[in-house]
Amino acid sequence: MSELELGRMGLVLNVADDRAHIEQAAEAERLGLSALWLFGGQLELLEPLAELLHATRTVAVAPAIVSLDVHGVDDVVRLLKVLDDGEAERLVGGFGAPQQAARPLAGLRAFLDEIDAADGSLPAERRLIAALGPRKLELARDRAAGAITMLVTPGYTAWAREVLGPDATLVVIQPVVLDTDLDRARQTVRGPLGFLLSVGGYAANMRRMGFDDDDITGLGDRLVDAVATIGDADAIAAGVRAHLAAGASHVALSVLSDGQQPGAIEVARAVVAADPTLPG
């Protein structure tokens, strides 16, 4: 399946009660970023995706991911009905295996069968699948436009590209902290990283990438530095370029902050200033 046109770099936004994410979406578009992402944990309803599409003109908008434990095909169809044609064309669906299913991969296949059969639904060329292991990567290659990965090294990205082949889309969601105090930045990463390594297949993928149980349970510097990019704007830009060079189609910045470190739109401004070639 041909590659989605997502551009080289995007940004993960956080849905805010004060609706600051709507203004941030418009600014990210002005900065030249080509895709905006929302994490699935914020999507009890899918309306925030429609709000971002209404607030922008050209960027792709995608969830990472729509939880199939919460939403089904009917929810996706309802979302598409509130979008005009141009907005619908900019919506990219990100889906992952339902974690509450007895057989998650079989549940994901069943969902894909159902969405393929639904009228007015999202075609395969505008769908991505959250994938880390080889079976899910192969499913992403065969039943969608490609894969979404997170907490991965450039070496993993190169391997995933080999599995997907040259034409599929490979999205890397890259945790970043803009902070030159590396110890403080690593500590910011460890909170969400520790949680994610207790969920789903992330720990298994760490072992696949060569980390051992001590690395995983201890959240040591070696592991943190491998799967997150910390430092100044030049370091973050270099981290994006490393994944692109390894075979990623698109890198989405997932900005982590302890409340004192810069947030998503501030980091986007800094990285674009450091390397104006990355957007687009």
DSSP assignments along 51-68, one per residue:
HHHHH-SS-EEEEE-B-T
- Residue 215: the pLDDT is 94
Do 2 and 272 touch, CB atoms closer than 8 A? Answer: no
What's the pLDDT score for residue 227? 97
Domain assignments of the chain as residue spans, ordered by start: 9-274
pLDDT, tens digit, 9 for 90 and up, residues 58-104:
999 999 989 898 999 999 999 999 999 999 999 999 998 887 777 88
Q: Phi, psi at residue 203, to the nearest 5°?
A: -65, -40
In this prediction, residues 162-169 reach a mean pLDDT of: 96
pLDDT of 98 reads 84
Mean pLDDT of 204-233: 96
H or E segment at 250?
strand 250-255
Q: Tell me the pLDDT tens digit for each residue of 29-63.
A: 999 999 999 998 889 889 999 999 999 999 999 99
So what's the architecture of 9-274 in CATH?
A: Alpha-Beta Barrel (3.20)
Closest CA to 243 of 231, 257, 228: 228
Pairing of strands 169-178, 229-231: parallel
The answer to whether the peptide bond before residue 148 is cis (omega within 30 degrees of 0) is no
Query: Exposed, middle or buried: residue 41 (CB in 10 Å: 0-12, 13-18, 19+)?
Result: exposed
240 contacts: CB under 8 Å, gap ≥ 6: 8, 9, 174, 229, 251, 253, 271, 275, 278
- What is the average pLDDT value for the chain, to the nearest integer? 94
Contact between 277 and 33 (Cβ < 8 Å): no
In this prediction, residue 1 carries a pLDDT of 47
